[in-house]
Structure 1
């Protein structure tokens, strides 16, 4: 007799093989058989019952941002599916592997304009890099496996639509498998000697060079700082890249544009060379001088030359290329430009410290951030919502390089803070987690404070209230 397994259970075992430990969602009639499967697998896969599918979707994306591993959320057919859009677009725009499971009516009711039936494949075509409706029970675990591989390979959202009846069908227990054990991420080499030398010649000829780094240098803070000192290049980070370089680094200017710091904007206005490393910074067209020389080091060929005319374009692993630049360069002479930026950073920090220690007048946000800095542990996780709080967190949080930080970057959806805090506390239960949000964003997702309580998650929620959508009002 052939041993069998329910297709829904096989699908969840596929998730488990990829290291998924928890999934977010809300039950619905069209997801019932997957819920029964979750109950069968409850010892291996934790179900987090959120109060809104959008929160689950954004939490799944935050799982990916904080851990590097795929996050998973689900919704039932119709409105449950449409509530997942926020997460799908956040995953797309911030390039985060995320899987969304979507319920569908039973096959016998499909294409009959049945209750809550939507044509869910085309709905997600823009947001997702892979979207499929399962058509046979035996293919369900295979499609889950394929979706995960596509999400990792393309760094984005994958959607699997599951007709409810298929999840309950029995399939051969040995008829499915997972490719998790063979998963590999391609690693580019460093730039060539010729490319690195060309970049170094441009830097050597510049009077006011800056290095603008993004998430492509994650884990390479020491390399960035060593090169900055050696070549006398102050460092600017993207807002989402803030935690990569320690706040204390003497020439860290902060971030640029509006969610920014004063030293970074001042330096960019006069920089005559920008080395753009591991970033797809969306405001480059308005913040970078069109006359500046431009070096770009990037692992994604789609972004080379996208933001600025490029004098030296290097398709390569960014940290490896920076190390090669260190090895192939001589120490630059002590630079008045570098020292002026170091002094500017000191003045900026002193100003912010003065504001954060104020005890007179009306309550302002700066002293609150001062207390957050005081009580935050060395490995705290900061989940930052969108709005004025993003701007203030970029300027005032003294992130030390060991702490984590996440927000909704390019999509910039309000209400992302609490879901990210859920993800942080679930993925790192022993670490301190902050949710920092404005009153407008907090109001969008406040129902899921109940989720924090239900699962005994000791998240520190800080809500900054100005009774306005301050970032828009400004």
Structure 2
């Protein structure tokens, strides 16, 4: 029988699963696998990142963008340790991926050897499945199992390979049976649950929808549901893009990063159709007495964030379609009318700044260019920080556009690795990395990777010289002196040029537009350093339009409070002021720091 190195057997399994590229950075303990990568050079592409964390984040981004798992690797010791951030990103966002981790030779384990630690124990918490090969013959078996477990358990799987096993010869007799691995095929709802849902919809005065990433394949059904039953749609941040941002009934993301209307509408509903959403911040929203129809494929999620009246263990697409077919069309509720008007007021207010000549430049002029210039199938790799606020409110996703970010783990530095992934798996599509100067500084070395592989990526760095998201927390939530959030300006265009990437610094909308046009005419990567406003985004958490100082700070003279629309369309007073679960019965004179909802963005 033909013999094959253990590491070659590993790579053969990966290739037979239809995976044709791998992210990583070499190390001595990974030599056998680097040899296998060389042997497979005509079949598999090796993306050599400049830091193992970037490789792990890139692998996590792969499933988010394609529905197909990514693979990364790290060598023993520090190479392995650098993978953790990407693994936790995948674990938090329920993203299948596989990490191959090298270990020192078996004869050198457990004797305080160079770069050796108990890898299997450390990786248990960062993964949904973790095994170390005990023999070379186990390597292809465990590789296949890692891929299966990652898909089945929706998270990162880790296989640890001691250096000596990777070189050992084994029989080349393992065959992948990936066709037996079924694609997601979730059940339809029961007839009884559909009938109960229809009954609640008929009885409700002001129903709404709250969607998450679990509704990503049900965009048409979400829109059809909203149109038939006149339900304003709100989403988690990861639910952005399920429907196009310009869809009239879509209020946007609830919470501090979202627009004003979503935050206001959620507090006035009496029925929430809760679809594929497990945002941990959901416990802070919606009236306690609101009824909930919850649709999810994971029964552990029912009632986790809010009490549930109807639980539908079903595919979002199938469940929504069943309710649409069974239910009676509703007329527009007072809340629906108020919500539409509230959103229109917000949109008009934002649009009023799109040609502003304020210096440093405001967000609206820059994002107006992004919306106009981005291809209809562009991919946006979005970092973490105030760029999430701006993208949530100002990026108008449509057509076949895709986007990705670090959701629940919310790690700064995600944008550059995700852009590597987008350029690798969609080489013919336009890729935009959108990052603040804080997050970009953490992974800026990956410009070298983009240059090396001539990736057509437009890297936009919003330089506002602050960790803006944390600054807003310190100002608005913990009410403390600014501490550790101010960062020095940097010439990111010069940094880019030093890494063989075209770099441009801009300060106006016209300069930015010209730079984008230049990128569209060239090959390879480019970086645009936007010298951005230091002002914080509008605070939807405070939303104090009755406070002249607040109105002046955010130039919000044209914004109207929700009570204006509620009164105009006859929304009952208790609904218009409906207390969400996070609101206090009386304001505190000296608010205590928020120690519950706020978290560092990385």
TM-score category by the smaller chain?
over 0.9
3-state SS of the aligned residue for 2:432? strand
2:582 — aligned with what?
Answer: none
1:269 to 267, 270, 279: 267
Deviation at 1:422, TM superposition (A): 0.7
Q: What is the correspondence of 1:168-247 to structure 2 with a 5 Å cutoff? A: 168-174=167-173, 176-247=174-245
Assess if the C-alpha contact under 8 Å between 1:280 and 1:307 holds in 2. Answer: yes
Partner residue, 2:531: none
Aligned alpha-carbon RMSD (Å): 1.1
CA contact (8 A) 1:214 1:241 kept: yes
Aligned to 1:141: 140
Shift of 1:332: 0.7
Match of residue 441 from structure 1:
439
Q: CA deviation at 1:357?
A: 2.5
CA contact (8 A) 1:65 1:96 kept: yes
Deviation at 1:189, TM superposition (A): 2.1
Which of 247, 250, 254 is matched with 1:249 structurally?
A: 247
1:25 match: 24
SS of 1:244 mapped into structure 2: coil
Show the counterpart of 2:369: 371
1:82-101 equivalent positions in 2, closer than 5 A = 82-101=81-100
- Measured in 1, the distance between the counterparts of 2:449 and 2:348 equals 39
CA distance in 2, matches of 1:163, 1:268: 53
Deviations 1:407-446 (A, max 9, x none): 0000000000111111111010011111000000000000
Matched, 1:354 2:347: no
Distance of 1:228 and 1:357 partners within structure 2: 33
Looking at structure 2, the residues matched to 351 and 21 of structure 1 have their Cα atoms a distance apart, in angstroms, of: 47
Q: Per-residue CA shift, 1:41-90, capped at 9, x if unaligned?
A: 01111111100000110000001110111101110011101100001101
Alpha carbons 1:18, 1:180 under 8 Å: kept? yes
SS at the partner of 1:460? Answer: strand
Distance in 1, matches of 2:352 and 2:35, equals 57
Once residues 424 and 288 of structure 1 are traced to their aligned partners in structure 2, the CA distance between those partners, rounded to angstroms, is 36
Q: Is the 8 A contact 2:207 2:231 kept in 1?
A: yes
- Quick check: 69-78 or 216-225, which moved more? 216-225
SS at match of 2:125: coil
Verify the 8 A CA contact 1:378 1:403 in the aligned structure 2. Answer: yes
**What is the deviation of 1:13?**
1.0
Within a 5 Å distance, the mapping from 1:26-425 to structure 2 comes to: 26-174=25-173, 176-425=174-423
Deviates more, 1:243-252 or 1:201-210: 201-210
C-alpha displacement at 1:355, in angstroms? 2.0
| Deviations, residues 182-201 of structure 1 (Å, cap 9, x unaligned) | 11135222211211111121
Aligned to 2:455: 457
Q: Say whether the 8 Å CA contact 1:244–1:401 is kept in structure 2.
A: no
Given that 1:101 and 1:159 are in contact with CA atoms closer than 8 Å, whether structure 2 keeps it comes out as yes
CA distance in 2, matches of 1:70, 1:298: 22
TM-score, normalised with respect to structure 1: 0.98
Shift of 1:109: 1.0
In the TM superposition, residue 340 of structure 1 has moved relative to its aligned partner by 2.0
TM superposition outliers: structure 1 runs of 4+ over 6 Å: none
| Alpha-carbon separation, structure 1, partners of 2:377 and 2:345 | 27
Query: 1:262 & 1:223 partners in 2: Cα distance?
Result: 25
The separation in 1 between residues aligned to 2:141 and 2:105, in whole angstroms, is 20
Q: Secondary structure at the match of 1:356?
A: coil
Do the aligned residues in 1 keep the contact of 2:202 with 2:328 (CA within 8 Å)? no
Stretches of structure 1 that go unaligned for 5 or more consecutive residues are none
The count of corresponding residues between Structure 1 and Structure 2 is: 472
Contact 1:237 1:255 in 2 (8 A): yes
> For residues 239-281 of structure 1, what are the alpha-carbon distances to aligned partners after superposition, in whole Å with 9 as ceiling and x for unaligned?
1121110112111000001121111001011111111101111
8 Å Cα contact 2:269-2:335 kept in structure 1:
no
User: Which structure ranks higher in relative contact order (CA pairs < 8 Å, sequence separation ≥ 6)?
Assistant: 1
Q: 2:302 & 2:176 partners in 1: Cα distance?
A: 34
Q: Find the aligned partners of 1:255 and 1:222 in 2 and give their Cα distance.
A: 18
SS at match of 2:295: strand
SS at match of 1:128: coil
The two structures have a TM-score, normalised by structure 2, of: 0.77
Aligned 8 A contact 1:133 1:162 in 2: yes
| Cα distance in structure 1, aligned partners of 2:360 and 2:34 | 51
C-alpha distance in structure 2 between counterparts of 1:13 and 1:136, whole Å: 17
Aligned partners of 1:201, 1:316: CA distance in 2, in Å?
18
Unaligned runs of 5+ in 2: 473-602
Q: Is the 8 A contact 1:145 1:179 kept in 2?
A: no
**Counterpart in 2 of 1:428?**
426
- SS at 1:19 equivalent: coil
User: Do the aligned residues in 2 keep the contact of 1:245 with 1:401 (CA within 8 Å)?
Assistant: no
TM-fit CA distance, 1:205: 1.5
